[in-house]
């Protein structure tokens, strides 16, 4: 395969969220059953490389800043993670 068929694609993602309000699932139920879970700014990055025609390898990183955040009270989200994927197209 000619070298020109190979391709590298970098995809950064920035997710900015303002304060969220979540139910507090506690017993006994507090007088005000809602809490602010706070804002978050998440940075992700993925790199996709076409190895040969119809075969791609993707390496990605999520939450590069390793920020502690939660979308709902009592359920913290994972810190910095990474993944590797391979895709074969017909």
Closest CA to 73 of 23, 38, 26, 27: 23
Specify the 3-state DSSP secondary structure of 73: coil
pLDDT tens per residue across span 47-80:
999 999 899 999 999 999 888 888 777 777 888 9
Tell me the domain boundaries of the chain: 3-88
Sequence-separated (6 or more) residues with CB below 8 Å from residue 84: 57, 58, 59, 60
Q: Which residue has the higher pLDDT, 26 or 35?
A: 35
For the purposes of burial, counting CB atoms within 10 Å of the CB of 50, is it exposed (0-12), middle (13-18) or buried (19 or more)?
Answer: middle
∠7-12-13 over CA atoms, to 5°?
140
pLDDT tens per residue across span 7-27:
899 999 999 988 888 777 666
């Amino acid at each position: 395969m000619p070298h020109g068929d190979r391709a590298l694609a970098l995809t950064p993602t920035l997710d900015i969220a303002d304060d969220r309000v979540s139910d507090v699932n506690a017993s006994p139920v507090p007088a005000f059953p809602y809490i602010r879970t706070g804002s978050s700014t998440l940075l992700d990055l993925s790199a996709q490389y076409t190895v040969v025609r119809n075969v791609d390898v993707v390496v990605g990183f999520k939450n590069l800043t390793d920020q502690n955040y939660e979308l709902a009270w009592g359920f913290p989200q994972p810190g910095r993670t990474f993944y590797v994927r391979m895709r074969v197209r017909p």
